[in-house]
Structures are given as structure tokens and as C-alpha cells.
Amino acid sequence: MQQRSLGVLTLILVSGLSIHGPSTHLAVANNGPWPLPQVTSPADNPSTPEKVELGRQLFFDPRLSKTQEVSCASCHNPEKGYSDGEPNSQGIGGQRGNRNSPSIINSAYHKFQFWDGRSKTLEEQALGPMQNPIEMGMTLDELVKRLNEVPGYRAQFQKVFGTDVTAENMAKAIAAFERTIVSKNSPYDRFVAGDTTNWNPTLELGRALFFGKANCSACHSGANLTDNAFHNIGIGSQDAGRAAISKLEADRGAFKTPTVREVARTAPYMHDGSLKTLEEVVEHYNKGGTPNDYLDEEIFPLKLTDAEKAALVIFMREGLSSPDLPIITKPELPQ
């Protein structure tokens, strides 16, 4: 880490860029409500340890798919940033969709779920992949019947919800589990809180660029570093994006702004997984995206130098990664 940062610092010094000390731009860094608030649960789905554990079991259980080969964790693998490391995800029978699997990290704070925002809650989102013929390929009736035939699940659902397995309560348990996958306490969080111990000039340059010249914070704003909105950023695919949901032509090719917290863990990037590295992401924005009739007004050539691009990548890779991110392992599944 230190060698990589110092390498970029050498580039910065050679290029003659001015570097400010860690505390210089603290007011700029505090961009929106900070720090991240405590996760809250819906009134009709309060969190309990027993419900979270049940959700963890369901999340890792391939019996939720028709062929019993795909679980939620197949596409949201904890070891791969709760994504899957693939441009587009593989479902039952080796089928593939046309979108990248979004990470569930900090999805508790999102106002919309899925790239096109077609679900507003984690509870609603949880049932979607189960019924998608390309992903898990089940009907809810089939799935409820299958899990009710597992004594261990029936006993837990009775304990947690006072019912046998139902689709609604499956969704509630999975959502309760997903709300525990939270990233905070990154080096940037500690910097904003006033701890500059490990904040070096390269991270500071990258942070200043993120909230300044590079214009990242036009969309990646607030405590979770997303505006929870939809933008056409010039990726160039034929996917209608948000327009398929909103029915507004202005939303064509627009997709939800993901958080950039833990972004180093979640490659490849964009809704179609077309950019493999953070360096490619920065270069995409630096050139102003791919021109199209619906390109967002915040996308334009940035004219970043090589040193600035490198520092921006380091800020995202090192400054926004938390040592406290929970990496959940597969539990023993009910029988």
C-alpha cells in the first residue's frame, strides 16, 4: 500500500502539482450528512439475531433455485465484494443475463434496488431473482412448498415469525440479513472524523479530485457516496435502463448510481460489467463517456493528468475500503 502510494506521490511531485496537507479540505470532504447513520428496519420487519441468522441460511442455500445449484450468494459472494466478479451473472443451467451483479454492501441505505430501481425495498428485491427464469427459476409456490418440507426451516420460521415458511417471511429474513452488510469506518471516514494519522498526500489529492475537478461527487454524494438517482453515463449499451421502469424517454440508458464504498472489491464495473478495473472507470469518465442523445449533463471530458488519475484510483481503492466490512461465511444449512 505504501509503495503504491509513494509511487504516485513521485508522479505528483514530478508533475509539479500542488498537494495540500490532510486537513486543508476537511470542509469539502464533509460532503453531506456524516457519518453513516445506524441502519433502520421497516416497522413491519424489525431485526432480531434469530431473523438475521435465518436470512443468512436462506442467502447461502442453493435449494432456493429450481436446479438447486444457485443461491443468492452465488451472485453476491462475500469473498468478491458481495458481487460475483463476472461481467454478467450466471444463473441456473449456465444461463446469463445482460447485467452485472450489483453488490449488496450498504444496500440497506439505498432508496432503490436493482440497476433500474424497479424495487424500492430489500424485501421486494429478494423475491425477484428467485422467480427470474434465468437466475433461480422458481415460482414462489414451488419454493414455499420445498422449504416447508425441510423440518429445520419450518421450525425456525415458527420460532421467528410464528408461521410455516411463507414467501413474505423469506423475503423479510433475507432483507434482515442483508441490512447487516455495512461498510463504514474506512480511512476516509476516520479522516472526516478528524483522525489524519494514516492520511497521506496521495489520498488527500485523490479526495480533493473526487470532490472537485474529477466531479465524482456530482453523483457519488452524501454519507453513502451515492445520490440514489439514475444517470446515463455514456456506457454505450443498448439496455433501456431506467426508461423501462419509468416509461420516460429521458431515462433511456440511465442506471442507478452505486455507492463507491468498497469499490475496490467489486470489479468489474458498470451495469454491464464492461469496465474491468478502476483505472478503466476513471479513463471512461476522463474522456467524457460515449456520446449519446441522453448523456447526463455531468458527464464531460475532465482533462485529468496521469498523476491525478492515479491518485483518484488510490483514494477509491484505499480510502474507501473498510477493515470492518463483515465477510460472512456459509452456515450449516437446515435439514
The size of the chain, in residues, is 335
- Residue 205's CB: how many other CB atoms inside 10 A? 25
Give kind and range of the element (H or E) at residue 230.
Answer: strand 230-231
135 is catalytic: yes
Helix (H, G, I), strand (E, B) or coil at 224: coil
Contact between 113 and 124 under an 8 Å Cβ cutoff? The reply is yes
Cα–Cα distance, 203 to 314 (Å, whole number): 7
Cα–Cα distance, 45 to 318 (Å, whole number): 35
Cα–Cα distance, 57 to 152 (Å, whole number): 11
Contact between 181 and 39 under an 8 Å Cβ cutoff? The reply is no
Q: Which of 123, 135, 178, 308 is catalytic?
A: 135
Cα–Cα distance, 43 to 54 (Å, whole number): 19
Go through 41-77 and write b for each residue having 16 or more CB atoms within 10 A of its CB, e for each that does not: beeebebeeebbbbbbbbbbbbbbbbeeebbbbbbbb
In angstroms, the Cα distances linking 226 to 13, 150, 178, 275 are 32, 40, 18, 19
Contact between 268 and 84 under an 8 Å Cβ cutoff? The reply is no
CA angle 152, 91, 256 (to 5 degrees): 105
Find cell 466478479 and name the residue. 85
- As annotated, the active-site residues are 135
